[in-house]
Structure 1
Amino acid sequence: MFTKSLQVTSLYTRVPLTVAILLFSIPSQALLPTPLDTANLNVVTSTPIDTISTNSTQALADNTQNVQNAGAEQLLANWRVQAKSKNLAQHTTWRRLLYFIDDKKGLFNKGKTKSLVEDSDFFLSTSGYQDSAAELDATLAALANEIMQPASAQANNSNSVQCRFPARVQWLSEHLAIDQSDLQTNCPELDEWMSMLNPEQLSIMFGEEYLDNPISAFAHTLLRIDSPASVADPSQIHYAYAFNDTVDGNPDDPFVVYAIKSMIGSYDNIIEIDPYPEKLAKYLKEDERDTWTYQLDLTPSEVRQMMLHVWETKDLYIPYYFATDNCASEILRLIDVVRPEQYLLGQLPYVVIPSDVINLLADEQLLAGTVYTPSDATVRQAQLNKAEEASELGYATLTEEEAYNIKSADINLASSISKDMQRLEPPLITPSDNNPLDRHPLQRGHVGIGQSGDNSYIELGLRAGYHSTLDRPAGFRQFFDLEGVSATWRLYNTDDDNDNNQPLSVELQNFTLVRGRSFNPVNSAEKGDTWGASIEATRVNDGSQEEGGAHLVGSTAFEYGKSWAFGEPKANSGEMPPQLCYTFATGAAQAGRGINNGFRVGAGVNAGCLYQINNQLRAQAELQLPYWYHGSSSEDDIKSHYWQPITTLGLQYDIDKKQALRINASYEWQDRVDANEDIKLSYMRYF
C-alpha cells in the first residue's frame, strides 16, 4: 500500500516540473529584452501569440497524458506481479464472479473451460468467456487507467469498470491492497440502486409446493433483502426487497410447450428486484402457500458484495433450466461467491430442489433464524377450527352460512399481511407441520418381497422424487402427493416355462414419469379443486381375454372430483383435520402390443380414504371402478368392453426420518384375469 502510494505521488509531482521545462524551452528572444528592430519585429510578430499558447498547452496535455500512461503501466506491472504470485486468475472466487461454475454437477453446464455467460458485454477481454486470466488482465488494465485519470475525468462515468463490475473491483482491491480512496469514479445509477436496497441482511424465503400451478409444484425460493430498518423490526416488510430468479417464459405458450422449454433451457432466466410485500403477497394471498423464512448467517460486507455481484449479473441472458439452473441454484451460486470454501453447488445432485437447498444450508450452519408465515388459507382454517371446536364443546353455534363465510376467500379477508401492505401481523397460531427442515429426503429406494397369483417375486424400486400420501408427512404441505421419475422391477421365481401366463424372470413393473393429486377439501378453507393426473408405463391385466395376462402399456390418466377432511386438527393451528376421503371421475388411455387390439380407453370412478393412525403409522384404501373399451372384436371369447374393479390397500410404518416399512395389497374383481391378487412387504429407504 505505502509503496504504491509513493509511486503514484511521485508521478503526479512530475507534472509541475514538466510545466517548468516547457516554459523554459520557449526561445530566449521571446523572453529577454531586444533592440527595437523593424526586421526583427516583423519576424517575431509573424507567429501569433495564441499559436504559441496553443502549442504549449497541447505539449503540456501530451506530456501529462504520457505521465498518466506511464503511471498506469507502472501500476499495472505491480498488480500483475501480485496477481501472478497469488494466482488470482484461477482463484475460485474470481472464476465464480465470471460464472465459471467449476464445482457444479449438472447435466447442462458447459464444464470448466467456459463461462455460463455468452454475453460479450459481461467481459472486457474478447476471450474472457473462456479465459479467466485474460479477463483478469483486461480488468486490471482498465482499472489502472481509471485510477491514473484526474478526478474530473472520473466523475459520472457509468461505463467505467468500477461502475459496471463493482464486485470484481471490490474483490481485487482486497487482494491487491488497492486504496479505496483511489477508486474515485462516481456511479450514480449503482449508488441509487444500492441506496434503494440498503442491504444489511439476507434471508432465504421458502414458499411451499403448490400443485395447482405446475411451475411451482416443487416449491420456490427467493431472497429477502433487509435494510437496517427491517433488521431492527422484521415485521416492517415495507423496508425490505425481494430478489427473485425465475424463468422469463412466454405466457402465451401452451402449458406443455412452456414446461418443455423451461426444462431444456429454451427460455432465459430473469432477475426481479421487487418490494418484498408485493412478492410475499403473491404467495400468501394469490397462491395461498405458507412460507418459511430463514436468516442467512452472512456478514454485512458479504451481503453487500453479493448485491454488488447481482448488479453485475441482473441483466444477463442466461438459459433457465427448471431442474438444474433455477431459483434455488442461483441463491447457492451467490453464496458461493462470498464463501468460496464451502462449494455449496457442488454438494447437490443433478436436480436442484428448493427444499434440498434449505436443508443443505442448515447442514452447512448457514441458517441463523426461522420465521413461519401462514397463508391466508391457513389463517382462515385456524378461524374455522376454533369455531368448530367451540360449536362441538357447546360454547357457540356454527351455522352452515357462518362456516361458509369463514372459509370464503372473497368474504373473509384475514391475512398475515396488514391491509396497508406495510407489515406482518404477529402469528397467533401454532406453525403448521410443513417446515422443509423436518421432511424426509426426496429420493427413495425400496426392496420388497411379494406374491402375485401363484408367483412369488422380489421387487426393487427407485424414485427420484418427491412425496406420496403414504410417505412420512412431516415437512410437506398437507395431503401433498407428487411423484416423478420412478421405476420398479420384479424378479420372479419361475418354475413352469410352458405356462404362457407365467411372468418373465425379470420384468419392468412400472415406470412413472409423473403422477400427482391435488387435494383441496370442500369443507376446508382451501380454495382450489381436487384433481389428479399421471403419465407412466405400467403393467396391467387384460380383462378382455380368457385368463388375461399382464402386459406393459403406456398410460395417461386424468382425475377430477371432490375431497373432504375429517377428524381432530392440531390444537391452535391452521392445519386441516388429519383424515381425508375423496372421490374422482376418471378418464384414461392405454396402449401396448400385448393387450387386445393394442389399446384401451376407460372411464370410471376412483374413491378412497387416507387415515393418519398416529405420527408413525398411516393407511390408505381405494376402490377403482374403470370401464374399459378395446374396440370391436369378431371373436366370441374376447370382450370389447367390460368393468374391471380393483381394490388397493397401503400401510406404512415410519422407523425414522429415512426408513420405513410398507405393505401394499390389491385385488382385481375380474374373473378373466389370471392373477387377481397381489401382496408385498417392502423396506423403504429415503436418501
Structure 2
Amino acid sequence: MPINLKSINLKSINLKSINSNLMAIEGTPTQLTRRARLPLTIAGLLLTVQAQAFLPTPSSLVTTGELALDTNPDLIAKNLAKSIDENKQDTQNVQNTNAEQLLITWRQQVKQDNLAQHITWRRLLYFVDDEKSLLGKKKNKSVVDDSSFFLTSNGQQDSAAELDAMLVALAQELTGSTSNSSNVKTNNSNSVLCRFPARVQWLTETLNIDKTALQADCSELDDWMAMLAPEQLSLMFAQEYLDNPISAFGHTLLRIDSKASVADPSQIHHAYALNDTVDGDAADSFLIYAVKAASGGYDNLIEIGPYPKKFADYLKEDERDTWTYQLDLTPSEVQQIMLHVWETKDLSLPYYFATDNCASEVLRLIDVVRPKQHLLSQLPYAVIPSDVVNLLKAENLLASTFYTPADSSVRQAQLNKAVQAAKLGYQDLTKEAANNIKSADINLSSIMSADGQTLLPVTIAPPNNNPLDRHALQRGQVGIGQRGDNNYIELDLRAGFHDTLDRTAGFGQFFDLEGVKATLRLYDKDDDKVNQPKSVVLQNFTLIRGRSFNPVNTAKKGQTWGASVEATRINDGSQQDGTDHLVGSTTLEYGKSWAFGTPPANSGEMPPQLCYTLATGAVQGGRGINKGYRVGAGVNAGCVYQINNQLRAQAELQLPYWYHGSSDEPEVTGHYWQPITTFGLQYDIDKKQALRLNASYDWQDRVDANDDIKLSYMRYF
C-alpha cells in the first residue's frame, strides 16, 4: 500500500528491529525471494533515515518529530541558498584566518629586516633617499603627488604604511586565489598585481612568496609587455643640437630590444623607444618655454613608441649623429625596469631641464634594480646626458657601443670622397654636382633603409665625437695676466660646457656652448696711478653663450648664429681715458661660416678648419658708462685653426659701432667705433688639463687700457 513519508515518526522507528530484519533478508537468498513483496526502495529509505541520524542536519530540513521531505520548489530553493550562504561564510572565515596568518609571518620579516626603509622599496615609491639637489627635495616624502600611485592616504609620506597596505592586499589576493578550485584568473585591472607589478615582484622575491599562487587577469599589462617583448635595454645618445634649446646639451633615450632586434641590431622595427621629455606648450614663446622647462613649469612626458620613427627624428630631421650603448643588465633586471615603467608611465611629474630630465630618468630606473650603486646621487646638481654616459661607463654598466651616422654625415662622407677624387684628378667636381651631394632634398642617402624600418651597414669611419672620449664639463681656471700697466691673478669657474678652444674629442665639430661661468680678477694695483681698478673685481658672469656653426660648403643644414646673456666688463670709449665698467649685455649674431682643410679619410667629418663672418647686435646697460646704456651693431669675423690633436688657435676681429645718445659735454661723444682683436691658443696636456693663452687689443684710443694678455692653467673635473 502507499506509504506517507510525512507520517513517519523518527522516534517510533525501532532501529535494532530494522537492522535484524535486514540481516535476515541478507542472510538467505531463498528467503530474499520469498519476501520480495517488501520493495527494496523502502529498505534504502530506511537506511537513509538511519544514516541521517548520525549526520549533522540543517535545522531547516527537520520539523518537530518529523523528517521534512517536502517537494515544494520555493522551500527547496530557500533552503539551498541558506546552505550556500553558510558555506560561503565558513569559507570566508577560513580565508580571513589564512590571510591573518600570512600577515603575521610577513610583518615579522618586514620588521626584522626593516624592509619599509629598504632603499629599493623607497625608490619604487619615488622617495629621494640620497640625491643632493639644489632644489632641496625632501627625503621623507615621495615626489609623486598622485593619490592613485598609493594604496593608503598617507603613502606619500609613509613608506611603512604603504608597504603594510601592499602586504594586506597581497594576502587577500593569495588566500582568495587559493580558494578558487577551478584555478581561473580573476579579471580585475584594479588588482595590485596589475597596478603595481614591480612592487609585487620585489615583495614576492624578498618575502619568498609563491607567486604562482597569485592569480589575476591583467590583460592590459600582459598586452603591453607582449607588445614590447623586452629582452635587452640600450642607451641611445644623440649629440648636442643647438638649433633646439631642449636638445642643446644632448639627449638620451632607452632602446627596448626584443629577441629579434637583440639577434640583429639593424632590425630596429622590432625595437621600441622609451623617451622621457618635456610636455611643453608649442604655443609658448621661446623665452617662456625655456623658463618653464628650467623651473618645473611643465610636466614630464614618457613616450613609448616604435623605435624607427623616433630614431629617424634624430638621424634625418635634426641630422644628429647617435651612439648606442647596450646596458649590462640581467634579463630579470630588464623585466623589473619595464614593470616599474608600467607603474609610473602615466604620472604627472614636474620636468626640470637641469635635474629631472631624460638623462636622470635613465639613472633612476637603473637605481631601482641596482640599489647599491647610487647612480643618480653621483650627479648631484645637474644631470647632463653625456655625463650619464660616462658615469655608466665608469660603473661598468655599458656592454657594447654602436655608432650611427646622421644623414648629413653620410652626405658629407660622399662629398669628402668626391673632393678628394677631384684633387687627385680622378674626376671633375662641378659646383652643381657638389651642391647636389650636399642637398638634403636631392641626395636622400641615409643609414636607414628606404622604408625606414632597418639600418644599413655603416661603411664610414666613426667620427671623433663619442661622448665617452670628452673632457669633463666643469672647468676651473687660474691665470696670471696684465691689463695695461696693472698685473692681476684671474680665477675662473665654468659649470659647462665647451668652447671652440677646448679639447675637441667627444664633441661635434666646432661645438661652442658655455653656461654659468664666473671670472674674478685680483689686481696688484699701483695707488700712485690714476684710473686704478679695484683690488677684486667681477670680470665676467656668463649665464649662457653659444654659437652654432653650419658651414655653407658642407653637407650640414642649418644657419650660423650666436647669442649670449652675460654681465661683463667693457671699456667705455665715450669719454677720454674711459675706464672699464661692469654692464649687463645681451648679444645676437647671424651670418655664415666655411670649413676648409682635409678631413679624415673615409669619414663623415667636415674639414677641420673654420672661418666665419657674423653680423651682430647688442644692448648693454650699467652704472658708470655714459647715459647708463649703449646699443651697438657691427661685424665679428674670425677663424678657428686645428693645428693638431693637442693644439688649437682662434683669432677674431670685432668691429662694433656703439651709440650712447647725444651729449652736450664737449669731451663726451655719443657714438663711436670700437674695434677689438682677440687671440686664443690652447695646448692640451691630457684629457683633464690644459694651458691657454689669451690676448686682446682695444683699438679705441679713448680708453685707459688697450691691451690685455693672460696665461692660464685649466683643470676639467
Q: Does 1:562 align with 2:589?
A: no
Match for residue 288 of structure 2 among 234, 237, 257? 257
Q: Give the Cα separation in 1 of the matches to 2:54 and 2:445.
A: 80
The answer as to whether partners of 1:146 and 1:154 remain within 8 angstroms in 2 is: no
Paired position in structure 1 for 2:76: 49
Partner deviation per Cα, 1:168-227 (whole Å, 9 max, x = no partner): 000001011111211211210000000001001100000000001111000000000000
Paired position in structure 1 for 2:11: none
The answer as to whether partners of 1:515 and 1:534 remain within 8 angstroms in 2 is: yes
Q: Give the Cα separation in 2 of the matches to 1:31 and 1:615.
A: 106
- Pairwise CA distance, 1:147: 1.3
Paired AA for residue 236 in structure 2: M
Paired AA for residue 112 in structure 2: S
Paired position in structure 2 for 1:642: 672
- Pairwise CA distance, 1:103: 1.0
Q: Give the Cα separation in 2 of the matches to 1:682 and 1:609.
A: 21
Paired AA for residue 24 in structure 1: P
Paired position in structure 1 for 2:86: 59
The answer as to whether partners of 2:636 and 2:654 remain within 8 angstroms in 1 is: yes
Q: Does 1:30 align with 2:62?
A: yes
- Pairwise CA distance, 1:101: 1.6
Q: Give the Cα separation in 1 of the matches to 2:125 and 2:74.
A: 57
Q: Structure 2 vs 1, CA of residues 546 and 315 (structure 1 numbering), >3 Å: closer, same or farther?
A: same
Partner deviation per Cα, 1:401-431 (whole Å, 9 max, x = no partner): 0000000000001111111112111110110
Partner deviation per Cα, 1:542-601 (whole Å, 9 max, x = no partner): 001001110000000000000000000011100000000000000000001110000000
* Partner secondary structure for residue 613 of structure 1: strand
Paired AA for residue 127 in structure 1: N
Paired AA for residue 685 in structure 1: R
Match for residue 534 of structure 1 among 543, 554, 564? 564
Q: Give the Cα separation in 2 of the matches to 1:118 and 1:260.
A: 22
- Pairwise CA distance, 1:526: 0.5
- Pairwise CA distance, 1:30: 3.1
Q: Does 1:358 align with 2:385?
A: no
Q: Structure 2 vs 1, CA of residues 27 and 577 (structure 1 numbering), >3 Å: closer, same or farther?
A: same
The answer as to whether partners of 2:128 and 2:140 remain within 8 angstroms in 1 is: no
Q: Give the Cα separation in 2 of the matches to 1:82 and 1:539.
A: 65
Q: Give the Cα separation in 1 of the matches to 2:679 and 2:61.
A: 115
Q: Structure 2 vs 1, CA of residues 364 and 48 (structure 1 numbering), >3 Å: closer, same or farther?
A: same
Match for residue 375 of structure 1 among 391, 406, 411? 406
Paired position in structure 2 for 1:5: none
Paired position in structure 2 for 1:395: 426
Q: Structure 2 vs 1, CA of residues 24 and 96 (structure 1 numbering), >3 Å: closer, same or farther?
A: same
Q: Does 1:126 align with 2:153?
A: yes
The answer as to whether partners of 1:105 and 1:345 remain within 8 angstroms in 2 is: no
The answer as to whether partners of 2:480 and 2:710 remain within 8 angstroms in 1 is: yes
The answer as to whether partners of 1:467 and 1:481 remain within 8 angstroms in 2 is: yes
Paired AA for residue 562 in structure 2: G
Q: Give the Cα separation in 2 of the matches to 1:256 and 1:576.
A: 32
* Partner secondary structure for residue 323 of structure 2: strand
Q: Does 1:430 align with 2:457?
A: no
Q: Unaligned stretches of 5+ in structure 2?
A: 1-51
Q: Does 1:310 align with 2:341?
A: yes
Paired position in structure 2 for 1:227: 258
Q: Does 1:657 align with 2:684?
A: no
- Pairwise CA distance, 1:26: 1.3
Q: Give the Cα separation in 1 of the matches to 2:94 and 2:135.
A: 49
Paired position in structure 1 for 2:498: 467
Paired position in structure 1 for 2:139: 112
Match for residue 583 of structure 1 among 613, 635, 638? 613
Partner deviation per Cα, 1:602-652 (whole Å, 9 max, x = no partner): 000000000000000000000000000000100111111000000000000
The answer as to whether partners of 1:207 and 1:291 remain within 8 angstroms in 2 is: yes
Q: Give the Cα separation in 2 of the matches to 1:672 and 1:605.
A: 21
Q: Give the Cα separation in 1 of the matches to 2:53 and 2:461.
A: 83
Match for residue 326 of structure 1 among 353, 357, 364? 357
The answer as to whether partners of 2:486 and 2:526 remain within 8 angstroms in 1 is: no
Q: Give the Cα separation in 1 of the matches to 2:231 and 2:133.
A: 32
Paired position in structure 2 for 1:96: 123
Q: Does 1:624 align with 2:651?
A: no
Q: Give the Cα separation in 2 of the matches to 1:318 and 1:650.
A: 44
* Partner secondary structure for residue 288 of structure 2: helix
- Pairwise CA distance, 1:33: 9.2
Q: Which has the larger radius of gyration?
A: 2
Q: Give the Cα separation in 2 of the matches to 1:637 and 1:137.
A: 81
Map 1:341-352 to 2 at 5 A: 341-352=372-383
- Pairwise CA distance, 1:61: 1.5
Paired AA for residue 665 in structure 1: A
Q: Give the Cα separation in 1 of the matches to 2:53 and 2:330.
A: 53
Paired AA for residue 428 in structure 1: T
Q: Give the Cα separation in 1 of the matches to 2:466 and 2:53.
A: 76
- Pairwise CA distance, 1:376: 0.3
* Partner secondary structure for residue 574 of structure 1: coil
Q: Does 1:511 align with 2:548?
A: no
- Pairwise CA distance, 1:143: 1.0
The answer as to whether partners of 1:109 and 1:116 remain within 8 angstroms in 2 is: no
Q: Give the Cα separation in 1 of the matches to 2:520 and 2:212.
A: 68
Q: Give the Cα separation in 2 of the matches to 1:92 and 1:190.
A: 26
Q: Structure 2 vs 1, CA of residues 426 and 109 (structure 1 numbering), >3 Å: closer, same or farther?
A: farther
Paired AA for residue 201 in structure 1: Q
Match for residue 703 of structure 2 among 667, 673, 686? 673
Q: Does 1:484 align with 2:484?
A: no
* Partner secondary structure for residue 508 of structure 1: strand
Map 1:290-305 to 2 at 5 A: 290-305=321-336
Map 1:91-240 to 2 at 5 A: 91-150=118-177, 151=180, 154-240=185-271
Paired position in structure 1 for 2:645: 615
Paired position in structure 1 for 2:49: none
- Pairwise CA distance, 1:540: 0.3
The answer as to whether partners of 1:601 and 1:630 remain within 8 angstroms in 2 is: yes
Q: Structure 2 vs 1, CA of residues 34 and 511 (structure 1 numbering), >3 Å: closer, same or farther?
A: closer
- Pairwise CA distance, 1:50: 2.1
Paired AA for residue 447 in structure 2: S
* Partner secondary structure for residue 391 of structure 2: helix
Paired AA for residue 508 in structure 2: R
The answer as to whether partners of 2:475 and 2:715 remain within 8 angstroms in 1 is: yes
Paired AA for residue 474 in structure 1: A
Paired position in structure 1 for 2:95: 68
Paired position in structure 1 for 2:3: none
The answer as to whether partners of 1:22 and 1:60 remain within 8 angstroms in 2 is: no
Q: Give the Cα separation in 2 of the matches to 1:342 and 1:314.
A: 24
The answer as to whether partners of 1:618 and 1:651 remain within 8 angstroms in 2 is: yes
Q: Unaligned stretches of 5+ in structure 1?
A: 1-19
- Pairwise CA distance, 1:332: 0.3
* Partner secondary structure for residue 507 of structure 2: coil
TM-score, normalised to structure 2's length? Answer: 0.90
- Pairwise CA distance, 1:146: 1.1
TM-score, normalised to structure 1's length? Answer: 0.94
